[in-house]
A and B are shown apart, each in its own frame.
Chain A
Amino acid sequence: MSPDIRELFDAAADDSRQPPIDAEALLARGRRKVRIRTAGATLGTGVLAAAAVVAVTQFPSVVAEGPVQPAGTPFSVATAETTPTAPSTQPPTLPPTPSATTRPPQSAAQTSGTELVRKLSYAEAARRCTLRMRAEYGAAGTPVPTVIGPGESQREGMYVTDLLRIKMPDGTEAHCSVPGSASPSYTQKPEVAPGDARAECGRLTWTNLTSWTVAEQRDTDRGLVAILLSNDRRAMLYCDIDGPGASREKTTAFPGASVYVLHGPQSSGRAGGSPSGVLGAAPDSTPVHWLGAVKDGRQIWGGGGLASKGAVRYVLFAGTRKVAESKVFYGIYAIRVWLPPAAGEPSLVRGYDAAGTVVESYQPF
């Protein structure tokens, strides 16, 4: 008779050679920890007063900052036929790009072009995270609450998403991010059936980042996590830095960060005409630069984080036709693209360095 799973687990977890845990030593550590927390609470009275000041003086301006006015004159898009297979010899040209935060509102008649809707630098994200953390948890150096209460690690029912490998045109693989209840795995290749949420990669509802706010940042012993929450509180960016030294006690530039798009299980509109996004994330923390997009009429919404090393611009192709071109934006940003007339859905994104050499190439959907 085959052993059942309980017997297998029981045998696998044989701890007969493990020394017992010293309860008295734990008790001593616990008492010490309580003493420290008690002392911290006394100190924290003053900190809370300061945090209240921060909340009053800082958050209104942060939250009420609201959407950045969209651009009025998106830079033009060269729509000449190109050959994606040999871009290194014919690097696409990039028209001058106006400042994203100073351009006047766009005209309603916009039919083509690329517009940076919102850009939040990592330093600014970290600053906001720090403010938020101070208001919620006290001054820098205050221990992050260590007791994990029910559901506390999954605020608002949101989860870190699974990472689904996507195959690039050149045969290499990267990841995109999809809703899931499991933590990301860089080492596993999930096999999903048609209809599985993970098969819907690229079809997640995603509002733009115009009013996204930092919802949480916490440092762990292995890195730092910052979360930007969408204004509808149904999606968020999860910026995760693996590396010692990253801490909320200091501004961190997020080098080598991974950025995920998160969705809660309550999120309903994963498909359809809503602006959507998916993240192109590499397994080795290779910079993320594009949150993907879906078509919304003649518009495409996308966004991202860091650009590939050396990249200075990205070009979207529909087949062999170049349909949009964008400079590189470092930071967490939202971008809107209008497809030129008769252009199909972009099927390829290529990143170029200053010499016109392709530094990245992948499918945007």
Chain B
Amino acid sequence: MPRRDDTAYVEFVNGASRALRRTAYLVCGDWGQAEDLVQEALLKLYVAWPRVAASEGVHAYARRTVVNVAIDAGRKSSKLRSTSDGIPDLPDRHDPVGQLDTRSVVMDGLRELPARARACVVLRYFDDLSVEDTARALGVTTGTVKSQTSRGLDLLRATFERAGLALDLVGGDAP
């Protein structure tokens, strides 16, 4: 039976938790929930560490768990938590060009997406996963990833248009 390497686990958490939390935040829309999701996923990873470390990439496993837990959580709560829920973010003194507004539009746009479409878009365009890797992460077919990504981008584009922003949502890369 593979041995549980605690040192390697701690190194992995220190190295990957930030990226995982950012992905989780984009999928769930709330930093507090994102932290919970990542911690839950990392705990699962620890339990499964001997098997996962021996069979597949631990980062892929952790990311897959984060996203699936986030989707499950979103399914139960019916809707993405609003970024305005709870304690509001402190005003950013280093925002001379209205980046917060743009961030708000981005998060509003993501919030409008169905959970799986949101996950597809985030994995494809934030985590830079291929269609195949995204499909593996979500446990769906590549066709589903393509259709969900396309649908998600369409909805995002509509959100940006409503906000009066003309932005390159696709970045030249087709779903």
Provide the bound-state CA to CA distance between A15 and B121, in Å: 19
Nearest first, the 3 closest Cβ-Cβ pairs linking A and B are A30-B46, A4-B171, A182-B114
Q: Tell me the complex Cα distance, A187–B81, Å.
A: 12
- Is B46's CB under 8 angstroms from A146's CB? no
**Contact flags B38-54 to A (C-beta < 8 A → 1, else 0):** 11001110111000000
Q: Are B25 and A26 in contact, with the CB atoms below 8 A?
A: no
B78/A187 in contact, CB under 8 A: yes
Interchain CB contact under 8 A, B71 and A183: yes
Residue total for A at the interface (Cβ-Cβ under 8 A): 50
A95–B26 Cα distance when bound, in Å, is 57
Residues of B contacting A186 in the complex (Cβ-Cβ under 8 angstroms): 78-79
A4-B168, A13-B25, A30-B46 are known contacts. Are A153 and B139 too (CB-CB below 8 A)?
yes
Chain B residues with Cβ below 8 Å from A90 are none
A5-B115 in contact (CB<8A)? no
Chain A residues numbered 1-52 whose CB sits less than 8 Å from any CB in chain B: 2-6, 8-15, 17-18, 20-21, 23-24, 26-27, 29-31, 33-34, 37
Is B59 positioned at the interface, with any CB of A under 8 Å from its CB?
Answer: no
Interchain CB contact under 8 A, A181 and B103: no
**A300 touches B (CB below 8 Å):** no
B1-39 interface (Cβ within 8 A of A): 4, 6, 9-10, 13-14, 17-18, 21-23, 25-26, 31, 35, 38-39
Q: Is the CB–CB distance between A18 and B35 below 8 Å?
A: yes
**Complex formed: what's the CA distance from A33 to B147 in Å?**
38
Q: Does B84 contact A (CB under 8 A)?
A: no
User: Shortest distance in angstroms between B55's beta carbon and chain A's nearest beta carbon?
Assistant: 11
A335–B106 CA distance with the chains assembled, in angstroms: 47
Task: Indicate if the CB atoms of A12 and B21 lie closer than 8 Å.
Answer: no
Interface contact B168-A5, CB-CB below 8 Å = yes
Name the one of A15, A147, A220 contacting B65, with C-beta atoms under 8 angstroms.
A147
**Do the beta carbons of B141 and A265 come within 8 Å of each other?**
yes
Contact of A29 among B43, B116, B147 (CB under 8 A): B43
